A and B are shown apart, each in its own frame.
Chain A
Amino acid sequence: MTWRAPVPGALALGTLISLWSLPFVRFAPNRLLTGDGLAWWRAPLGLGHWAALLPCGLLLLAWRAQSRATRVVGLPAAALWLVALPWLAGMAARQMAPEVDGLARVSLGAGFWLSWGLMALLLGELLREAAWPVWRRVLLWVGVLLALLAELSGGALDHLSLLREYANHQDAFNLAFGQHVQLVALSVAPAALLGASLGLLAARRSRVQGALFAVLNLIQTLPSIALFGLLVAPLAWLGEHVPGLGIAGIGMAPGILALTLYSLLPMTRGTLAGLQQVPAAAVDAARGMGMGSWQILWQVELPLALPVFLTGLRITAVQAVGLAEVAALIGAGGFGAIMFQGLLGSAIDLVLLGVIPVVALAIAVDLLFKLIIAGVARHD
């Protein structure tokens, strides 16, 4: 017996198993306790329990149905699941902890996260098999996202512990957001300029290449906490002895400096790779037509190197969004501050409040640059 669609089948089965065996939501009398897990069928979902038929149906489809049928039924079903599951959890939370400002907390359990994530993968897999044009795939994901945002702003999820942590920490959250974006922007921008110059230098003088990349690789090898730590002492000394700078051993400055240093390697590498893939014939032809070396650089090499350079920038920016999380340890703020606060208090919802936005930010930055790169590539 073989499965018609083994991958969607495995994912649907995984969804069912995680619903069956892991707590869907957790109930705690107050926010400091982890609370007791409630399985899917014990959570107060009312008719919502029947939603479990959805992965069952997908399982059957994947087992026996034609792949077209699996897609036609599976795509809307999986999308529905992604929207409905948070709504059901929000409803359960409302039943179990009706007062928004009470002590009792209802948080999302592993069963929720896993079955949601597996279904998201299933949707992705069905979309891939459907081989739709990119815009239609993006449209579907945007639709799911908008529905989730509507639930969020409509208050359907307000009783969940995660949203109540948000309500309690709204000011800190907004501050962290600003700081995080600042950390990334203020480190990636100078690193892009500096990295582009270094990449250009490496492309022109192949003798400095070895030494340059040895140093940059060394920096990249240093763990972030070590680099942050190493910068504390010299910057503190600078702050004390050159008062006008407004620099201190902890705070934004070492954070930005360390992130800039980390960003140098991917930026330099991206620039060099971009310049190296410019066809030698193009440069040769430009020289043959009488262009000077600056004209060749500006009119031929840089435009041709741009897509690869931008890819380097994309990788750098995504990396910086994640690295900035650690900068909170030296007082640079950002979402890391919320995450570490939750970690020290063992409050998972606070941790998630500091992690989920970072993941979302990384994905957003990634998509943004991919769109830009696609736009640039189209002009060629």
Chain B
Amino acid sequence: MIEMTQVSKTFGGARPAVDDLSLSIAAGEFVVLIGSSGSGKSTLLRMINRLVEPDRGEILVNGVDIRRQRPEDLRRRMGYAIQSIGLFPHWTVAQNIGTVPRLLKWTKARIDARVDELLALLHLDPAEFRHRYPHQLSGGQQQRVGVARALAADPDVLLMDEPFGALDPVTRGALQEELLRIHALSGKTVVLVTHDIDEALQLGSHIVLMNQGRIVQQGRPLDLLRRPANAFVHDFVGRTEIGLRLLALDRVAGRLRPNEAAVGEPISADLSLREALSTFVARRVDRLPVVDDQGRPAGALFFSDLLERQL
């Protein structure tokens, strides 16, 4: 879907912001670019829709060199959302969401229908929110509208630069869930920038860890946790909480013993192992009954099994 080959970009300073970097992103993937501040994540992201032009290297989208397309056309086919949200304060929610469809000269009826559809998708009541101005929305609602606007023209690719950075943890969690749901539903390719390892592990199907304009390691979340390529990666994903992070990635279903049983309030097989751990601690027991999503007994989870296969 997106092929970047040996791209470099140097701004005024001596050190390149992106340094001879190659990256390949498959269609339908949820790619998270992560790294500390100044590591070149935003620059890399902004090269994909030509907000930044690389000094060297080439970028193909769907096999076509993006330099051969008009930047505006390219961008209209990609959704874009940023941390400061950038809602146009003088436009209503409906006008904001309809930005790209209007640029693409959709009919008014089609735009209106699309706006309502997207508002509903992001759990905002169309009748209530369509005519509001951004200053009449909470931060979380504004960011929902920002995401809806990025999705408006049904782009194949969604580019997001720390979209939830300015939100409180609860709102952020809710929006992360939304985004995962939308990704699963639509199969779009998402490239998201963050500096928050928890967000990366929760959202990404493929994580790219950057430092000083280069890729340090990339792969599935589990790969980064289990096989950090070097001390930097190990440091970044967090030495102390690595066990908890691993537990957060696996479900109870993967560890339960189907033919065993236990007493007490059963837990769902869909729960993450991390949540199961806190239940163990809270109840001071060493085994928990497990039920499947229809509520039928599925077996038991043993405390000792939580430690299995780690590292």
- Given a CB threshold of 8 Å, the question of whether A touches B is answered with no
Query: Which residues from chain A sit less than 8 Å from chain B, CB to CB?
Result: none
